[in-house]
Amino acid sequence: MSENKDKNFEQRRIADDNWQRYVRARDMRHKEYVERAKRNDKMYLGDQWSERDREALEKAGRPALTMNLILGTINAAMGEMAKSQADVQFKPARGTNEQAAKDMNYVYQYVAQQNGLEHLELQVISDGLILDRGYYDVRIDFTDNLLGDIKVTAEDPLDVIPDPLAKDIDPATWSEVFITRFMTLEDIEAQYGAEKARDIRSQYTEPLAGDADCFEWKTRTFGGEEPTTEYSASLDDKDIKRVRVVERQYYKMRKVKQLVDLESGDVKDISEKMTANEEKLKLLLDSQPNITMREITKKAVRTTITAGYTVLFDDWSLYDTFTIIPYFPYFRRGNPLGMVSNLVGPQELFNKVSSQELHIVNTTANSGWMIEENSLVEMDADELAAQGSKTGLVLEYKKGYNPPAKIMPNQIPPGIHNISQKAMMSVRQISGVNESIMGMDRADVSGVAITQRREAGQIQLTIPSKNINRTRLMLAKKVLELVQKFYTETRIFHITDYSEPEQPQVEHAVNVPDETGAVPADLTRGKYDVVIGLQPSRDSVDETIFSEAISMREAGVAIPDHIVIQHSNLPRRLEIAEMVAKVQGFGEMSPEEEQMAAQQMQMQIEAAVKEIEKTDAEIAEIRARAALQGAKAQSLDGYSEYAIRLSELANKKDMAEQQLRARVALAELSARRSELQSQRASATKLASDMLKVENDSRKAMAQAYLNNKPHPTQKETLNDQTR
Supply φ then ψ for residue 323, to 5 degrees. Answer: -80, -15
Sign of the CA dihedral with 694 first, then 700, 706, and 708 last: negative
The lowest-confidence range among 262-266, 293-297, 444-448 is 444-448
What is the pLDDT confidence band of residue 714, given thresholds at 50, 70 and 90?
A: very low
CA distances from 238 to 187, 235, 702 (A): 19, 5, 58
Q: Which residue has the higher pLDDT, 300 or 629?
A: 300
What number is the average pLDDT over the span 125-146?
94
Q: What is the pLDDT of residue 366?
A: 67
Kindly report, residue by residue over 472-505, the tens digit of the pLDDT.
999 999 999 999 999 988 998 888 877 666 667 8
Q: What is the pLDDT of residue 3?
A: 65
Helices 117-131 + 462-486 axis angle, to 10: 130
What number is the average pLDDT over the span 194-220?
82
What number is the average pLDDT over the span 637-643?
56
The lowest-confidence range among 360-369, 555-564, 713-722 is 713-722
What number is the average pLDDT over the span 254-283?
81
Pairing of strands 84-94, 134-141: unpaired
Q: Which residue has the higher pLDDT, 108 or 216?
A: 108
Among candidate residues 474, 479, 468, the one with its CA nearest the CA of residue 172: 474
Kindly report, residue by residue over 534-544, the tens digit of the pLDDT.
877 666 666 77
**Residue 36 predicted with pLDDT over 90:** yes
What is the pLDDT confidence band of residue 428, given thresholds at 50, 70 and 90?
A: confident
Q: What is the pLDDT of residue 634?
A: 45
The lowest-confidence range among 79-93, 471-485, 644-658 is 644-658
Q: What is the pTM of this model?
A: 0.74
What is the pLDDT confidence band of residue 586, given thresholds at 50, 70 and 90?
A: low
Q: Please, which residues have CB within 8 angstroms of residue 124's CB and are 6 or more apart in sequence?
A: 134, 135, 136, 154, 327, 471
Helices 462-486 + 69-82 axis angle, to 10: 50
What is the pLDDT confidence band of residue 443, given thresholds at 50, 70 and 90?
A: low
What is the pLDDT confidence band of residue 228, given thresholds at 50, 70 and 90?
A: very low
The lowest-confidence range among 214-228, 302-316, 612-626 is 214-228
Q: What is the pLDDT of residue 123?
A: 95
Q: What is the pLDDT of residue 719?
A: 42
Quick count: other Cβ atoms within 10 Å of Cβ 27? 11
Residue ranges of the alpha helices (H) in 297-413?
Answer: 344-365, 381-387
Q: What is the pLDDT of residue 1?
A: 54
Name the DSSP class of 147.
T
The lowest-confidence range among 170-184, 201-215, 573-587 is 573-587
Name the DSSP class of 172.
G
CA 678 – CA 682 distance, rounded (Å):
6
**Residue 386 predicted with pLDDT over 90:** no
Query: What's the CA angle centered on 254, arms 248 and 259, to 5 degrees?
Result: 125
The lowest-confidence range among 54-63, 243-252, 659-668 is 659-668
**Residue 34 predicted with pLDDT over 90:** yes
Cβ distance 562 to 556 under 8 Å? Answer: no
**Residue 723 predicted with pLDDT over 60:** no
